[in-house]
Structure 1
């Protein structure tokens, strides 16, 4: 398959997923399984797990960049696939938790409250922005358009790293307030 055809083939999927994922997550965030008659206990064990997955994603991203800078393309490719897998796993656990539990309110006060909400809001906004960036970056690698891949990866990497790290920070800041 020609490289341009690969990109064209995936462009519709990139647009669809970039819109569908945030919309579905927003809708499912409001859906509570108990409202539909499911007797499901809150999955209260998930937040520290998905926070850890975010931390692992950050380590994978940094290690992947180091690998490509050292010329190890195969290792870079494997690590990036693992980072994408971790992000998908995070998303599944995050949605599952919020479908079984009420949202936790941040209980901090003063400056900590403002810092928390700044980090949370930027984390949420950038977690939406990162979806098409990761997908475009990945497809350009699939299409072996490494010049274009590298160019967008320089934008994608710091945003994705920020989302992964702030996911951990948000968890650490709100964890004392879980019921």
Structure 2
């Protein structure tokens, strides 16, 4: 077995572990509250911005690789990965200090009255469709991003390009819908 194949095999073990551990850890951390720390309500616009910037970086990276600028493409992709990790850390911190906000909960009592349900109407359906697809694809994209990155590190660019064609639209969707979800839920955040 070649050195490259051996390294990739070792990376693949880590990819499997991380692809399982990250979603489980995030789900577990949703049940944790940091004692003595007040609600970090300033974080949602920051982590939404990290998603928006990630989307811009992803598109810019694709433009750069199509122009043949591999070096800038690599820097942009690394920055997108760092921002995605930062998003995850900020998201978990926020939810470790705050109860989840319900879409349409105008009075922030944690319950949706019939009047609140009527006020939001069908927009709740769209919100939850976007939210569920965002969450599910954010889990799915983890191994894709890691595999795509490892193939680039291993200089297996033929295989990198092949999986990047799948990774890019999923990751871009997750980044963009993260911003959309924020703007849809933000009117219902407690003051």
**TM-score by structure 2 length?**
0.90
CA distance in 1, matches of 2:56, 2:75: 13
Structure 2 residue 103 is the aligned partner of structure 1 residue 106: yes
The ranges of structure 1 where at least 4 consecutive aligned residues each deviate by more than 2 angstroms after the TM superposition are none
CA distance in structure 2 between the partners assigned to 1:123 and 1:98 by the alignment: 17
> Is residue 155 of structure 1 aligned with residue 156 of structure 2?
no
Which residue matches 2:73? 76
Superposition CA RMSD, Å:
0.9
1:116 matched residue in structure 2: 127
Q: Which residue of 1 aligns with 2:114?
A: none
Question: How many Å separate the matches in 2 of 1:76 and 1:5?
Answer: 26
CA offset at residue 110 of structure 1? 1.8
| Residues 6 and 139, structure 1, Cα contact 8 Å, conserved in 2 | no
Structure 1 CA distance, aligned partners of 2:26 and 2:181? 18
User: Which consecutive unaligned segments of at least 5 residues does structure 2 have?
Assistant: 105-118
**Once the 2 structures are TM-superposed, how far is the Cα of residue 6 of structure 1 from its aligned partner?**
1.9
Partners in 1 of 2:122 and 2:41 — Cα distance? 28
Q: Spell out the pairing of 1:121-160 with structure 2 (5 A cutoff).
A: 121-160=132-171
Deviation at 1:133, TM superposition (A): 0.2
- Give the paired residue count: 175
1:6 aligns with 2:7: yes
How big is the shift at 1:3? 1.7
Partners of 1:8 and 1:125 in 2: how far apart?
26
Q: Deviation at 1:109?
A: 2.0
Name 2:57's counterpart in structure 1.
Answer: 60
3-state DSSP class of the match of 1:47? Answer: helix
Deviation at 1:2, TM superposition (A): 2.2
Mapped contact 1:43–1:101 kept (Cα < 8 A): yes
Structure ranking higher in helix proportion: 1
- Bigger RCO (CA 8 Å, 6+ sep): 1
Who wins on radius of gyration, i.e. which is larger?
2
Distance 2:36 2:24 in 1: 26
